[in-house]
Amino acid sequence: MYISATFEGATRLPNMADQSSSTVTVKNCAVRLMRGGAGQPVLFLHGGGGVPSWLPFLARLGEKFDVLVPEHPGFGQSEMPSWLDSISDLANFYLDFLEELDLQGVHLVGHSLGGWIAADLAVRNASRLASLTLISSGGIHVEGVEQADTFLSNDEQRVRDLFYDQKLADEALARTRRPEFEDVLLKNRATTARLVWQPRSYDPQLQKWLHRIRVPTLLLWGDHDRLFPKEHALAYERLIPGARAVVIPDCGHLPHVEKAEACAIVLEAFLETRKIAA
């Protein structure tokens, strides 16, 4: 059921400092892991741009859940393993990650490239999952829908395509131009290209197996997403049994950044109803 959500009177997101950063090694690959909060585990898989800091959206989730945010192999401060060739490799890696950390009843949340990883993982083995949330996710192709191609854009346009509110794009551009971020951004972009170059940002095999996902699934999208327009949410909704799509107005490709409060409200409500079932 497609829902276009509106939000009034949302409280400001908290700034929770209770989080730590460590290194964990899985499948002979050391990855950086940010973790904070307490409760049922929420595993957040970031998009191709990475996740350099503990976002306010994650801080809010950490008020009620144990939030784990790893940097994917090949991204940020994590190692680049010799075995990394595809999104499926990362899906299998995170199955090993869940086993290594002995996590059960996990709420798996993935954004963009991370959503593609999450969907692939859930198709393969959802036995440790309580729910699945895809935020502006790649992974499938929708015929006839125009998409921005970040690999054909210049540096500025690539950032502007992420946002509906161009004032936020201006702020993001100022951050990305800081010298300390240059190497990480280049590394993330190179690894993303390695994984999604051809076919561009989707797996032709994935959508025919999405019916195997048997955990409650939420699809969170911005109504002005240029990279994976909201038609992708509707396609995922048709392909995953019982999935529910919620589209956030006046929002681009980063709902958890651009509309963090609205995104958190919807996600928290979804996760709260599934605490006992996990």
Residue 277 lies in a domain: no
Residue 268 lies in a domain: yes
Domain range holding 233? 2-272
Residue 278 lies in a domain: no
| C-alpha neighbours within 13 Å on the C-beta side of residue 172 | 21
Chain segment 20-51, per-residue pLDDT in tens = 999 999 999 999 999 999 999 999 999 999 98
Find the helix packing angle between 87-100 and 179-196, rounded to 10°.
110
Stretch 128-156: mean pLDDT: 96
Beta carbons within 8 Å of 188's beta carbon, 6+ residues apart: 48, 49, 50, 75, 76
- pLDDT at position 8: 42
- pLDDT at position 3: 54
Whole-model pTM: value is 0.93
Chain segment 64-99, per-residue pLDDT in tens = 999 999 999 999 999 999 999 999 999 999 999 999
- pLDDT at position 193: 97
How many residues comprise the chain? 278
Residue 42 lies in a domain: yes
pLDDT band at 4 (very low <50, low <70, confident <90, very high): low
Which SS3 state, helix, strand or coil, does residue 169 take? helix
Residue 136 tokens, joined:
């502006």
Residue 74 lies in a domain: yes
- pLDDT at position 52: 80
Residue 88 lies in a domain: yes
Provide the sign of the torsion angle of the four alpha carbons 124, 128, 132, 136, taken in this order: negative
β-sheet bridge partners, residue 24: 31
Residue 36 lies in a domain: yes
Contact status, residue 137 vs residue 110, Cβ threshold 8 Å: yes
Q: Is the model more confident about 211 or about 278? A: 211
Stretch 127-138: mean pLDDT: 98
- Total domains in the fold of the chain: 1
Average pLDDT, the chain: 92
Stretch 118-129: mean pLDDT: 98
- CATH number where 148 lies: 3.40.50.1820
Chain segment 241-255, per-residue pLDDT in tens = 999 999 999 999 999
Question: Cα separation of 81 and 28, whole Å?
Answer: 8
Residue 125 lies in a domain: yes
